[in-house]
Amino acid sequence: MNEIEPCIMTLKSSQFLNDQCKKCGKHFVFGETISMYQYDYYHPDCFSCGNCQKLLVNQGFFRQEDGCFYCLNCHIDNGPHCIKCNEPFLTGEILSQFDGKQFHNTCFLCDICQKIIERKNFSYENGKIICEICLKK
């Protein structure tokens, strides 16, 4: 459900971290607990949902294309959705795209036989997606 769980680490006074918080740009204090995600460091209060500000430590989250993090609820409410079923896309989920619209693979169906198009050839006629098999009928 989540992309990657954040790695939580505590800096000790003997350690030297010459990095800044990715979100606020402030330096870390020695001994401070920090969150790390994909080699970027965050203050715990900065590692939060970009929509509702809920802290993301110890819960699933989604990273949007613009780099903003969303908690599960905000991703469901504000993230990209399938044009057919209106359900959100989850990280790593395979999807189909046609005519600028995104579909879950299981929602990209032939309008005649209702079978999944997958990698089959199809045609788009009069606003309908028609699979290769139905075209030949």
The predicted-structure confidence for 34-92, as pLDDT tens digits, reads as follows 888 887 888 888 889 989 999 888 777 888 777 788 888 888 887 778 888 988 887 66
**What pTM was computed for the model?**
0.57
Q: How big is the chain, counted in residues?
A: 137
Residue 122 sits at φ, ψ, to 5 deg, of -150, 170
124 CB-contact burial (10 Å; exposed 0-12 / middle 13-18 / buried 19+): exposed
CATH superfamily of 95-136: Cysteine Rich Protein (2.10.110.10)
Q: Where are the domains of the chain?
A: 1-72, 95-136
Q: Classify domain 1-72 by CATH architecture.
A: Ribbon (2.10)
Contact 69, 48 (CB under 8 A): yes
| pLDDT of 114 higher than 90 | yes
Distance CA 89, CA 76 (A): 8
pLDDT at 2 (0 to 100): 41
CA distance 5 to 9: 13
Phi/psi-derived region of residue 58, left when phi > 0, alpha when psi is between -120 and 50, beta in every other case: left
One-letter identity of residue 120: K
- CA 10 vs CA 17, 39, 106, 135: distances in Å: 11, 15, 44, 62
Q: What is the tens place of the pLDDT at every residue in 98-113?
A: 888 888 888 999 999 9
Q: pLDDT, tens digit, for every residue of 4-47?
A: 455 555 555 445 566 788 889 998 887 788 888 887 888 888 88
- pLDDT mean across residues, the chain: 80
CA 6: distance to chain centroid? Answer: 15
pLDDT, position 92: 67
Query: Which residue type, as a one-letter code, is found at position 31?
Result: G
CA-CA-CA-CA dihedral for 42, 46, 49, 52, to nearest 10: 180
